[in-house]
Structure 1
Amino acid sequence: MQQSDDLGHVHFCLFARKISNRRSQEIAYFSYDDEHNFRLDDSSMQYYYPPQPSQLPLDLSAGFETFEKLNDAPDEHLDALLDTIVALEQNTQKKCEADIVTWRGMMTKIVTAPFDMLNGFEMNATYFQGTIFIEENNSYKNAQKEIQKNQRMPPGMPSQDMMAYWGYKFEAVSVIPNAWGETSREKIEGRIHEVVNNKAQYCSVVRTGFGRVKLVLGGEVDAIWDSKPVRKEDPINWVELKTTAELVNDKEKLKYERKLLKFWAQSFLLGVPKIVVGFRDRDGMLLRLEELETHGLPGKVKREGRGSWDGNICINFTAAFLECKINPFNSLYCCVNFYQG
């Protein structure tokens, strides 16, 4: 599917009942280690511990030349997610029931589609034993990345690679591998000098849903605020870490408001309740941090912003889109049409 050029070209109607989305609940997890090897454990889970005010401003460009960067061009398909689901089914002796299984990244693009006028996407889907397995078309994704990478930056602006690194550096200086009481002061203070490696990841697998559609999603989680609750059904205090330019003018404020759409979608899909945004200047100096509650972002945009997106429309659109995918010829309450601009 490719993104329409105009929201007015995406029409959807919902009938019969109000659409709601279920709270995401973790049912399994897995890790990638420092070499990006798959592990059925939580060994790569990180704990949130931000840089102290005395350390700011902090140079997010430091260490760029030694960055251990993951090569994400190869198509990993749904392999790690499916291996984790198979292990879950073997442990519980129950089938993991879902209408759709996919990555959080794929769902984010669907959720934000009504208001994202810049980024297109294509997806592949396979129907097997009552479940639709969806993944992003990797060739299209890589082609779009190459186009973006080759764009000429304005004079004085850093490269796309450098700006991406700033985000990973912010994560590296905001997390520790163990709870605070189990982490040495030397480890905490030495984070700013460590080699940044984005190959290691903790991935949460959650059960969630939109309207009638049951989903199982997998996606990376940046850090945990405290610790996992004893009761598995209780929500987990995950933290999503993001960076953005300091809001020095109206243009940057509008860009930030549009960024909040993706921040919100990524977080609520996995049940991440808190987002920490690191504001930096155009040279990559981290200036300040701000904590945002995921559930409050749609209201914040409506009250304080320009109304560039609406969370209710995103949820209703997603429910309608998914309903028509799992039951395209007998849908009682939705219809979705896409037209190329």
Structure 2
Amino acid sequence: MFSKSNAGLSVRPNRGEIIPFPHFEKPRSIGYFSIVGGVLREYEASAQQLRYYRPPSSKKFPLDLNEGLRLAIKKPEAVQEEGLDHLFKFIFDNRDRLTRPLLGSEHRKRLIAEFVCWRGLLRLLMCTPYEYRSDWSIVITRFNGTFYLWKRDTDYDKMQRAQETEQQRTFASWGFKFEQYCLTESPFLEPDTSAPVDECSEFSCVFTTKIGGLDVLYGAEMDGVVSEQPVLLDDNPTSLENLKFVEVKVRQGNLNRNQMQSYKRHKTRNWWCQSFLVGIQDIYMGLRNERGQVDRIEHVEVRSLPKQGINQWTPNVCAAFLIDFLNYVKSLMSEVNCPYTVYDFYFDSKRGTITYECIRGKSEYSFLPDYYIELMNPAKKQPQ
């Protein structure tokens, strides 16, 4: 058993403390890819899964989120073990523009970013100061000057999925069905709601930004783009930066007092962090009843979410903690340079503490694939 050390990070916000919003550059989209093939979830360097936001006509309301529910193509359990695989493939495909020679080495390479992860992990960290219910585990490797971060399943995560109720699974499927009502393959076509909902396919963008002076590269699944004309990204990739992406959400329309409090405390925070990290300004939210019928769609400006969650959370605390955590990791692991050694950080939500342990050498926790290690270190064979 590895010994654990306390990270000594201040997680909970101090009541009354005024924290300025830290430097956070506008995210820049540098590329994209699609996940295709249904349950096979294959990486494809194309915009095949790009979708357009096209709201349903008034005559289609109420929208029935139960339509074709049993035919939906569900994500396989193995999706939890994908890690950063799709991001590694994107970096490999774009290695000429994303890597540089490592200082003092003829063959070894370094990435243009100090940190690599998914948007979801950044959102998770931003929400941590206000999280009292869910623990998390993040494993981190430092190799050739870059930190690779991956959220690993905890025992709690596995238990939650095993105990998931039929109602919880239905709520999740309603979200995918609502997307099908609002997103289409072409701006000239109505959304096709007759086909089975494919919960496996995705369109993702890759972003770079500076967070408190730290260079971060991350991938994010994108719902849809607003455009009256087809976007030919494969012919003109540079047009990606000018696209206006939106989020599509669904929630219960009539909330009682406790439900409204939960929405303000949790949903507004999660949605703001998720959208802010990719520069999204608009959310289109379907308001449903308990039977899964959407009566109307509400436009929510992302900038309004902090005001809705006032006295519950602040963007300043979220962004500041993210930077504190990344800086702590950078300092703690500054001497590490191994594609196999990982530091496993564990957040105890009830205690509000973060501990870590170092697992040296190759182990079940190592997650950088061999082809990626070879890309970065072509002249040196790694020890087993």
TM tier, smaller = 0.7 to 0.9
Distance 2:204 2:34 in 1: 6
Aligned to 2:62: 57
State whether residues 31 and 43 of structure 1, in contact with CA within 8 Å, keep that contact through their aligned partners in structure 2: yes
Deviation at 1:147, TM superposition (A): 5.0
Deviation at 1:9, TM superposition (A): 6.0
Aligned to 1:10: 12
Deviation at 1:233, TM superposition (A): 8.2
Equivalent of residue 117 in structure 2, options 102, 112, 131: 102
Aligned to 2:51: 46
Helix, strand or coil for the counterpart of 1:197? Answer: coil
Deviation at 1:98, TM superposition (A): 1.2
Letter in 2 for 1:126: T
Aligned to 1:175: 183
Distance 2:304 2:210 in 1: 20
User: In 2 relative to 1, CA 31–291 (structure 1 residues): closer, same or farther, beyond 3 Å?
Assistant: same
Aligned to 1:211: 212
State whether residues 98 and 111 of structure 2, in contact with CA within 8 Å, keep that contact through their aligned partners in structure 1: no
State whether residues 98 and 112 of structure 2, in contact with CA within 8 Å, keep that contact through their aligned partners in structure 1: no
- Root mean square deviation, CA, Å: 3.0
Distance 1:21 1:327 in 2: 20
Deviation at 1:301, TM superposition (A): 2.8
Deviation at 1:329, TM superposition (A): 8.5
State whether residues 173 and 192 of structure 1, in contact with CA within 8 Å, keep that contact through their aligned partners in structure 2: yes
Distance 1:103 1:278 in 2: 26
Deviation at 1:266, TM superposition (A): 1.1
Matches within 5 A, 1:128-139: 128-138=143-153
Letter in 1 for 2:302: T
State whether residues 24 and 210 of structure 2, in contact with CA within 8 Å, keep that contact through their aligned partners in structure 1: yes
Helix, strand or coil for the counterpart of 1:204? Answer: strand
User: In 2 relative to 1, CA 256–18 (structure 1 residues): closer, same or farther, beyond 3 Å?
Assistant: closer
Distance 1:121 1:271 in 2: 25
State whether residues 11 and 128 of structure 2, in contact with CA within 8 Å, keep that contact through their aligned partners in structure 1: no
Consecutive unaligned residues of structure 2, counting only runs of 5 or more, are 1-9, 101-109, 335-345, 352-384
Distance 2:167 2:73 in 1: 17
Does 1:314 find its partner at 2:311?
no
Helix, strand or coil for the counterpart of 1:247? Answer: coil
Distance 1:249 1:117 in 2: 22
Does 1:221 find its partner at 2:227?
no
Aligned to 1:153: none
User: In 2 relative to 1, CA 298–238 (structure 1 residues): closer, same or farther, beyond 3 Å?
Assistant: same
Letter in 2 for 1:322: L
User: In 2 relative to 1, CA 338–144 (structure 1 residues): closer, same or farther, beyond 3 Å?
Assistant: closer
State whether residues 237 and 274 of structure 1, in contact with CA within 8 Å, keep that contact through their aligned partners in structure 2: no
Equivalent of residue 281 in structure 2, options 264, 273, 290: 273
Distance 1:107 1:89 in 2: 23
Distance 2:52 2:284 in 1: 13
Aligned to 1:117: 132
Equivalent of residue 83 in structure 1, options 61, 74, 89: 89
Deviation at 1:272, TM superposition (A): 2.0
State whether residues 236 and 272 of structure 1, in contact with CA within 8 Å, keep that contact through their aligned partners in structure 2: no
State whether residues 91 and 98 of structure 2, in contact with CA within 8 Å, keep that contact through their aligned partners in structure 1: no
Letter in 2 for 1:312: N
Helix, strand or coil for the counterpart of 1:70? Answer: coil
Deviating above 6 A after TM superposition, structure 1's stretches of 4 or more consecutive aligned residues are none
- The CA deviation string for residues 251-274 of structure 1, in whole angstroms up to 9 with x for no partner, is 221122121111111111122222
Distance 2:135 2:347 in 1: 13
Give me the TM-score of the superposition, normalised by structure 2.
0.73
